[in-house]
Amino acid sequence: MLNAAMTDMIATNRTTAILGMGATGLSVARYLSAMGQSFVIADSRQQPPNLATVQQQYPDAPLMVGPFADDLLLGFDTVVVSPGISLAEPALVVARQQGVRLVGDVELFLAQAKAPVILITGSNGKSTVTQLVGEMAQTAGLSVGIGGNLGTPMLDLLDDAHQLYVIEVSSFQLELVNDTRGAIAGLLNISPDHMDRYANLQQYHKAKHRIYRGSSTVIINRQDPLTNPLLSQGVTVRSFGLNRPDLDCFGVIEEEGEVWLARGLELLMPAADVAIKGSHNRANALAALALGHAAGIDMSAMLQTLKVFTGLPHRCEYVATIDQAVYIDDSKGTNVGATLAAINGFGEEGRAHLILLAGGQGKGQDFSELNTPVSRFVKQVILFGQDAAQIAAALDGSRPVTFVDSLSAAVAKARAVAEAGDIVLLSPACASFDMFSGFEDRGRSFKREVLAVAS
C-alpha cells in the first residue's frame, strides 16, 4: 500500500521522481524544469543539505524527506536515481520488480548532448585526466564542457554551442548506463574501491565496464588486464601504458638515455617536460593523449597543455619545501589503489625516502597491498584516524609505524623525522569522514599545518 505522503504526490499526476537532493539531484531538477516536465523529489535524510534550495526554487514540486518506504515509487513511470543511492535500496528493488524505469543523469545527458562525448572512469586518476583532456581541447580552440562526477554536474553543461564534452563518471553513475550512444570511453584502471557498497571486486568491475556499452572507441590501460573489454567487432580499441606502444597506441620509448612520450614509433615529447610529476601522472598524461587523439584534438595543442598543466588540488599536489624536504598533498588518495600509485609514482629504487601519512575510514579495504611499496620506498609510516590500526596490522613491520591522534600531530611528527631529499606524502588510502567533511577539507588542513611550519 502507498504511504499517505506518496498518495498525495501521485495525485498530482507527476510521473517522474528524483531521488536525492545532492548536487546531482539538483541538476536533474533544473534539467526537468527547463524541459517543462513536472516531478517530485525525495531524500532519505531528514535534513538534506539542499532542502532549503529545493523548497525555494521548486515550491510547486512535492517533496518528501526521511527513510524510503518499500512502496515509495510504485506510482511512478520513471525514477531518476542520484549516484549516492544504492540500487540495493529496497524501494528501488521493489520499483524495478514492478517495471518502474530507473535512470541516472548519464542517460539523460547522453540523450541531449549534440556534440561528441568523451566518458572517463577508473579507480584513480579520472579527475586529473578529465580536466587535462578538457584543457587540451580548450587549448586547441574548442568550446568544451568539462565536468560530471568532477565539478559541474553534466546536465548543467548542456549547451548547443559546445563542440565536445569531457565527462568524468563514477562506478555509481555507470550502474544504470545501458548505452553510451557512441561516446569515446576511457577506463584508466581498476583497483578495489567502494567495497562498502559492492559485495566484491567483480561487482565493482562489472559496474565500471558498463562504460563500454555502445561506445565507438575505447581506451584501455594495457598494463591493467581488468580494463580489457569484452566487445563485439567494429569497436576501435586503443591503449596507453608506461611501456613501448603498439601502432596507434600511446606509451614511452627510451632514446639515447632519455624517456619520451610516444605514439607508436613517433616520439612526441620528453617525459621530463610533462608538468605533472610522478610515474602515475605520466600514465595519466598518456591516457589523456589517447583520449584526445581519438576525439581528433590537435596533437600540438595537447603537447603544449602537458607542459603547463600542473594538476588538480589534493591530487599529488606540491605544497612546500621545508629544510629540503618536499611536502605533497594527495588527500584525494581515498583508496589503496590511489595510495599505491602515489607511493610508486614518487618512489626511487634503492632509496627509502618517503614519509607516508595515512589513515581514516577504510571502507572495508584490504590494506595488505601497501606492504611491498612501503617496504621499498617508505622510511616512516605515520597513521591517524579510525582505521589506523588496520593499516598497521597489514604491514610487515619492516618500517617504523607511529600512531597519532590528529593530522596536526602527523605533520609535526613528519617534520621531526624528515631529512633533506625526503618526501612527506599525505596519501591516506582512506575516506576522511571520521575526522573531516571530505578529502578537500583534509587536504586544506594538511596545507595549513605545513605552511604554518614553512612560514
- Whole-angstrom distance, CA of residue 147 vs CA of residue 169: 9
Number of residues assigned to the chain: 455
Do residues 217 and 186 make contact, with C-beta atoms less than 8 angstroms apart?
Answer: no
Interval 223-232: pLDDT, tens: 999 999 987 6
Under 8 Å between Cβ of 111 and 180: no
235's CB contacts (< 8 A; 6+ apart) are 212, 215, 216, 217, 218, 229
Catalytic residue among 149, 189, 281, 284: 149
Instruction: Provide mean pLDDT across the span 345-373.
Output: 94
Whole-angstrom distance, CA of residue 425 vs CA of residue 347: 11
Q: Is 149 a catalytic residue?
A: yes
**Catalytic status, residue 413:** no
Q: Is the torsion defined by CA of 214, 95, 81, 56 positive or negative?
A: positive
pLDDT for position 131: 98
Among 50, 124, 162, 194, which one carries the catalytic annotation?
194
pLDDT of residue 116: 98
Q: C-alpha dihedral over 155, 156, 161, 167, to 10 degrees? A: -60
Does residue 424 contact residue 353 with C-beta atoms inside 8 Å? no
Write down the pLDDT at residue 112: 97
Output the nine-digit C-alpha cell for 76: 511512478
The CATH label, of 3.40.109.10, 3.40.50.720, 2.60.40.10, 3.20.20.60, for the domain at 4-103 is 3.40.50.720
Quote the DSSP letter at residue 69.
P
Band (14; pLDDT cuts 50, 70, 90): low
Which residue ranges does the chain devote to CATH 3.90.190.20? Answer: 317-454
d(CA 78, CA 39): 10
Query: Which pLDDT score, from 0 to 100, does residue 192 have?
Result: 85
pLDDT at 24 over 50: yes
Question: Is 194 among the catalytic positions?
Answer: yes
Q: Answer left, alpha or beta for residue 158, where phi above 0 means left and psi between -120 and 50 means alpha.
A: beta
> Residue 320: which H helix or E strand, with range?
strand 317-322
Give pLDDT, residue 11. Answer: 41
Confidence of residue 4 (pLDDT cuts 50, 70, 90): very low
Fold category of 317-454 in CATH: Protein-Tyrosine Phosphatase; Chain A (3.90.190)
β-pair partners for 252 = 261
Mean pLDDT on 77-94 = 96
- The percent of residues above 70 in pLDDT, for the chain, comes to 96
> What does DSSP assign to residue 68?
P
| Catalytic residue, candidates 124, 126, 332, 379 | 126
| β-bridge pairing 16-19 and 78-81 | parallel
Express each pLDDT in 28-67 by its tens digit: 999 999 999 999 999 999 999 899 999 999 999 999 999 9
Q: How do residues 306-351 score in pLDDT, each as one tens digit?
A: 999 989 899 999 899 999 999 999 999 999 999 999 999 999 888 9
Q: What Å distances lie between residue 399 and 144, 355, 360, CA to CA? A: 47, 10, 20
Share of the chain above pLDDT 90, in %: 89
Summarised one tens digit per residue, pLDDT across range 117-137 is 999 999 999 999 999 999 999
The pLDDT confidence band at residue 5, using thresholds 50, 70 and 90, is very low
Predicted local confidence at residue 52, as pLDDT? 95
CATH 3.40.1190.10 domain residues, the chain: 107-306
List, in sequence order, the alpha helices (H) in 46-152. Answer: 51-57, 90-97, 105-112, 126-139
d(CA 104, CA 83): 7
pLDDT band at 196 (very low <50, low <70, confident <90, very high): confident
Give the mean pLDDT of the chain.
94
Query: What are the phi and psi torsion angles at 281 (to 5°)?
Result: -75, -25
- Give the residue range(s) of CATH 3.40.50.720 domains in the chain: 4-103
Residue 104 confidence (pLDDT) above 90: yes
Question: Which CATH class name applies to 107-306?
Answer: alpha beta
- CB burial of 127-148 (b: ≥16 within 10 Å; e: otherwise) equals bbbbbbbbbbbbbbebebbbbb
